[in-house]
């Protein structure tokens, strides 16, 4: 029974042995003796500075402010942590308030903002006025007199071969490669690198100079934003080589990538009087033109001057790039004027005085592609009224809601919008005019 009692209680032999081993021999010996005769235990002396067995080998670090104890293994000597450093107080800004409690710095800032807001409409009016002047100048110079033509010729830059220009005499003029209404273009050689550029010299005219400065600023923005928004399309835009122009003999000059020629010259040289081949030339030109317009649409810019003269062919005859941003504008700063776009490439919404957007460039590109493929101008009108007449002849009647909408529609259609008016506007042209059709 003595041996089987632990088993009867549910204990196993190994567990019973472990319980006996937990007690020291002295403890088991003292339990058999009465309390009066039990031996007293001797305590070890701690005079040598060592810790007793009952003391923990961990030192206690007390934070006097928080009264928290941190048990850190280490030496016997307790270490008291230093109190945390007080937070660094930030220096208070000097108050700009006066004795009355008014913050004069804030007042100055608000005053400056109000002045900028007042100047913003004036700046927008100046931009709009400049753009209108540029567009009117383009339209009038196409119909200028002999005297006006001679005056214009005297404003162009003339440089002989070997003439040095640019900052520090960097560029050497080789020959003139083109001339437009506002400027002349020369092929120049770079003295610092074996590269040739196209340098455009603006006419010595204050209006044309401001227009060129505006074009340079706009093209600088296009290089930055269009490259991020549409990398593929931005490669079809003619970019600036340097972000700033330079002054030379009273003319503002701008440096561009050198191209072979414009498409009007290419049409005369390679078209043989019948237009360029549809495949692959016209197809590739159309693709690259619409890629350029896609990049402009991505950044909200309207070119307003898409025509064969402003599409340039590269030196390898493989790439076409859109150039001449003198008439370009943002989609949010459109100007209503009947002189927008070249007349033969002018969209109907511009003629009727309707709101317009980047779609007018698509119209100009389509008219350009037709001309390149056939060597025939699609709408060779002599005025806006004649342009509407030719559109009706080729495309057919317009919807009444479209024909009677805009600031200038009454100059071209009758009050009921059913009849087209001739250039004089005094009578309605009916059966004798193939362009006069009843609108639906």
Helical spans, DSSP H, in 63-159: 104-141, 146-153
Query: Which class for 65: exposed (0-12), middle (13-18), buried (19 or more C-beta within 10 A)?
Result: exposed
Could you tell me the end-to-end alpha-carbon distance of the chain, in angstroms, rounded to an integer?
121
d(CA 275, CA 269): 10
Give the Å distances, CA to CA, from 325 to 180, 216, 399: 13, 9, 33
Residue with tokens 């220009």: 165
Strand partners, 254: 200
Residue 249 backbone zone (phi > 0: left; psi -120 to 50: alpha; other: beta):
left
Give me the torsion for CA of 264, 268, 274, 279, rounded to 10°: -60
Given the residues 230, 262, 305, 309, select the one marked as catalytic: 305
User: Is it true that the peptide bond before 280 is cis, omega within 30 degrees of 0?
Assistant: yes
Catalytic residue status for 190: no
SS3 string, 350-396, reads: HHCCCCCCCHHHHHHHHHHHHHHHHCCCCCCCCCHHHHHHHHHHHHC
Q: Residue 200, annotated ligand binder?
A: yes
How many CA atoms within 13 Å lie on the side-chain side of 52?
8
Element (H, E) at 344: none
- Residues at the binding site for ATP are 200
- Residues at the binding site are 200
- Positions marked active-site: 305
């Amino acid at each position: 029974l003595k041996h089987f009692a632990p088993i009867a209680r549910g204990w196993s032999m190994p567990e019973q042995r472990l319980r006996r081993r937990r007690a020291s021999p002295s403890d088991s010996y003292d339990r058999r003796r009465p309390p009066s005769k039990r031996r007293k235990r001797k305590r070890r002396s701690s005079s040598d500075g060592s810790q007793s067995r009952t003391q923990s080998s961990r030192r206690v670090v007390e934070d006097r402010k928080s009264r928290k104890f941190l048990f850190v293994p280490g030496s016997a000597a307790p270490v008291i942590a230093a109190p945390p450093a007080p937070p660094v107080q930030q220096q208070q800004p000097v108050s700009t308030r006066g004795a009355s409690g008014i913050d004069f710095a804030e007042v100055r800032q608000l005053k400056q903002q109000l002045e900028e807001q007042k100047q913003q409409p004036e700046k927008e009016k100046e931009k709009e006025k400049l753009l209108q002047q540029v567009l009117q100048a383009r339209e009038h110079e196409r119909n200028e007199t002999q005297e006006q033509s001679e005056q214009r010729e005297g404003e162009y830059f003339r440089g002989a071969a070997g003439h040095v220009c640019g900052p520090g005499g960097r560029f050497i003029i080789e020959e003139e490669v083109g001339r437009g209404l506002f400027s002349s273009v020369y092929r120049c050689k770079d003295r610092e690198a074996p590269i040739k550029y196209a340098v455009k010299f603006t006419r010595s005219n204050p209006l044309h100079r401001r227009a060129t400065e505006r074009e340079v600023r706009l093209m600088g923005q296009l290089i930055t934003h269009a490259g991020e928004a549409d990398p593929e399309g931005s490669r079809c835009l003619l970019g600036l080589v340097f972000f700033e122009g330079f002054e030379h003999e009273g003319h503002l000059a701008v440096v561009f990538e050198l191209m072979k020629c414009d498409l009007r010259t290419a049409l005369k040289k390679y078209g043989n009087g019948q237009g360029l081949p549809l495949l692959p030339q016209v197809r590739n030109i159309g693709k690259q033109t619409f890629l350029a317009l896609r990049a402009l649409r991505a950044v909200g810019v309207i070119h307003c001057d898409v025509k064969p003269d402003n599409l340039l062919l590269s030196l390898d005859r493989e790439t076409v790039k859109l150039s001449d941003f003198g008439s370009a504008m943002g989609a949010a700063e459109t100007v209503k004027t009947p002189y927008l776009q070249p007349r033969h490439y002018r969209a109907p919404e511009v003629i009727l005085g309707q709101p317009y957007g980047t779609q007018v460039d698509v119209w100009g590109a389509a008219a350009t592609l037709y001309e390149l493929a056939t060597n025939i101008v699609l709408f060779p009108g002599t005025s806006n009224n004649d342009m509407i007449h030719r559109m009706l002849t080729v495309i057919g009647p317009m919807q009444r809601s479209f024909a009677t909408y805009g600031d200038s529609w009454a100059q071209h259609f009758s009050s009921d919008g059913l009849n087209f008016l001739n250039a004089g506007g005094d009578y309605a042209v009916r059966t004798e005019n193939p362009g006069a059709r009843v609108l639906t």
